[in-house]
Amino acid sequence: MSRPYVIDEMISAKAIAARIEELAKEISQEYADTEQVVVIGLLRGSFVFIADLARELDLPVEVDFMEVSSYGNEMVSSREVRILKDLRGQIEGRDVLVVEDIVDTGYTLSHVISLLKSRKPKRLKTIALLDKPSRREVDFKADYIGFEIPDEFVVGYGIDYAQRNRNLGYIGKVRFPE
Ligand code: IMP
């Protein structure tokens, strides 16, 4: 990635914080009866989101991480999703919330969810900060969504472009000036 680009703000840090507060309230109500909820972040894009969300949850929380890699481009037909790092803990019989940065084609989360379901959690829900419904290739909808966005490439708030811009406090749209 060598072409210079600019980043136009799409969702401010303030708007993200306000939306997370709302979502955390809904989730805290839904999981109110839990003994402990295992909040699972999908690395690396969700690391900022999970940090902010977990601190807003009014619930006993355990945090775990998983890293998966999607084969894009050259393996478009199979869209295989590989586990690079699995959970440290067990989820059988437990309440689980999977935290993702963006749902794009839907392959990553639908694969991760069917894998985690096979481990027989008691309750399994998903939250994605961003959703690009116009890009969907498999039928998948997260239970909680921060913001629906158009088909734009975004960075910031944990999300990268070629490993850059994860540390921006807001969500920005990548643009290549003529
Ligand atoms: P899906 O399997 O197509 O839903 O892939 C979702 C993953 O693609 C996300 O977790 C991101 O890592 C990546 N992704 C999708 N859209 C963007 C984007 O606009 N910016 C950066 N990464 C993206």
Domain boundaries, the chain: 13-154
pLDDT of residue 76: 47
In angstroms, the CA 58 to CA 27 distance is: 9
Q: Is 149 in the pocket of ligand 1 (CB under 6 A)?
A: no
Pairing of strands 154-155, 144-148: unpaired
Q: Is 33 a catalytic residue?
A: no
Residue 159 Cα: closest atom of ligand 1: 21
Out of 8, 33, 52, 104, which one is annotated catalytic?
104
- pLDDT (mean) for 138-160: 97
Nearest residue (by CA) to ligand 1, atom 15, is 104
**CATH top-level class for 13-154?**
alpha beta
Q: Residues for the chain: how many in total? A: 178
pLDDT of residue 108: 95
Query: Given a cut of 90, is residue 69 above it in pLDDT?
Result: no
Q: Which two tokens stand for residue 6?
A: 């600019």
In angstroms, the CA 81 to CA 109 distance is: 10
pLDDT of residue 158: 98
Nearest residue (by CA) to ligand 1, atom 17, is 153
Q: Which two tokens stand for residue 83?
A: 């586990």
**Which 3 state secondary structure label does DSSP give 10?**
strand
Residue 154 Cα: closest atom of ligand 1: 19
Query: Given a cut of 70, is residue 1 above it in pLDDT?
Result: no
- The overall pTM is greater than 0.75: yes
Confidence of residue 157 (pLDDT cuts 50, 70, 90): very high
Q: Is 45 in the pocket of ligand 1 (CB under 6 A)?
A: yes
Confidence of residue 74 (pLDDT cuts 50, 70, 90): very low
- pLDDT (mean) for 45-63: 98
Q: Is 131 in the pocket of ligand 1 (CB under 6 A)?
A: no
